Structure 1
């Protein structure tokens, strides 16, 4: 099987209703940063967050999505991860995706850490048998010990991050989708997690990474997609992107 992500003429709009409300009008203008606002129908406005995205990512690619805040890179990442669905255009994905975007999504705060491990695994369409085989490994990597038998509402932010990261990175995937790099838990855990993340990046067929860290782009990625105002402003090799940046800075 050949692994690939392909977006053709993809647009994404956010719709905001009841514009008579001053607070919602303000929300529209806040959303409009980096995109274009237009009146849709009646008392409705829309913000075009992505416009005319044509992007093909092939097996072996490690592609960085870069751009200023509001440029559309995280929105595009969420479209690829299946969190948002394009308003127009087509997207095809060949391969299983592991998404490291909002990794605490789906957590049940009143449930124990152990129960949440199963819930998150089932959300990824894994069988209970497969989850059973990985629970000990997840527990060991998280380092939470007996805390796994307590409700996660009793966890600190760092403990919750350790649990979520341990579950999210336990199962292999063809396509790895990342927002920024890593900030899960205390310093010791971040170091251990960074080593695991590096291994996942090396083993994945495709990696898509949204980041502001240009040094990380140079070290990890072979291609760059730069976004401005929801459009692709640059698409090419990392070497060509770095050369363009040096020329602009000169």
Structure 2
């Protein structure tokens, strides 16, 4: 059997409910309080799965169940408190994709900066620049500071850059929720092209239709655990049965 491109082994991650809360003097000297942080909770624990090359996975579950957190762990943006995540191929992260762009730089400069940080050479960016701008539909704003773009335009620019990366693993988290219908169609077509190239997809969306369109496998997260790992349709059936 081929080595998985992603291996997630018994991971868990915890957060503080209220980072502003200060422990009282009594809390600090309490035996129980000395062994745990105040108001911590586990987003999930004991989650394990492997992802073969070319798999297309959708993460299913209610809001607040750790779907985006799981994607950030796979992207290695977050580090688990328990267990391990091993990613054996390069990742193109379409998650919070505008975060790496610099507000005071122009759209042009941001395209070169972001693509360069993802490993593109200047000559490669020169060759692709016109296509990136055309895809993003921002031809009239190339020399405009990024901070002056609308939120939808920012996402279009970021998607146009990141979706041209050659990385074999694609992580997508709700980036298609911003933008008009015609641009979403372009994004869908681009993702389908990438899947046809044999890329591996990890996808989080609140749209059942999007998940079923792109994914064959579903991970159902709920109540702090991985409740189901199998065909995407069955993952939705389990989810619907729990919350009908």
TM-score band, normalised by the shorter chain?
Answer: 0.7 to 0.9
Give CA-to-partner distance per residue, 1:116-160, whole Å, 9 cap, x none. 011111222333333233212212222212311121122222222
Deviation at 1:81, TM superposition (A): 1.2
The reply to whether residue 53 of structure 1 matches residue 47 of structure 2 is: yes
Deviation at 1:18, TM superposition (A): 5.5
The reply to whether residue 193 of structure 1 matches residue 173 of structure 2 is: no
Give CA-to-partner distance per residue, 1:143-186, whole Å, 9 cap, x none. 21231112112222222222111112122321111113613433
The reply to whether residue 89 of structure 1 matches residue 83 of structure 2 is: yes
Alignment partner, residue 9 of structure 2 = 8
Contact 2:66–2:221 (CA under 8 A) maintained in structure 1: yes
Structure 2 distance, partners of 1:124, 1:85, is: 21
Give CA-to-partner distance per residue, 1:53-74, whole Å, 9 cap, x none. 1111112311111100111111
The reply to whether residue 208 of structure 1 matches residue 202 of structure 2 is: yes
User: Which consecutive aligned stretches of 4+ in structure 1 deviate over 6 angstroms post-superposition?
Assistant: 246-250
Distance change (3 Å), C-alpha of 1:124 and 1:3: farther
Structure 1 distance, partners of 2:235, 2:242, is: 11
Alignment partner, residue 21 of structure 2 = 19
Structure 1 distance, partners of 2:76, 2:14, is: 15
Alignment of 1:225-236 (within 5 A): 225-236=219-230
Distance change (3 Å), C-alpha of 1:42 and 1:241: closer
The runs of 5 or more residues in structure 2 that have no matched partner are 24-31
Deviation at 1:232, TM superposition (A): 0.3
The reply to whether residue 162 of structure 1 matches residue 163 of structure 2 is: no
Structure 2 distance, partners of 1:211, 1:172, is: 23
The runs of 5 or more residues in structure 1 that have no matched partner are 22-37
Secondary structure at 1:83's aligned position in 2?
coil
Q: TM-score, normalised by structure 2?
A: 0.83
Distance change (3 Å), C-alpha of 1:204 and 1:82: farther
Q: What number of residue pairs does the alignment pair up?
A: 235
Structure 2 distance, partners of 1:246, 1:185, is: 28
Alignment partner, residue 93 of structure 2 = 99
Alignment partner, residue 166 of structure 2 = 172
Contact 2:95–2:175 (CA under 8 A) maintained in structure 1: no
Contact 2:218–2:232 (CA under 8 A) maintained in structure 1: yes
Q: TM-score, normalised by structure 1?
A: 0.82
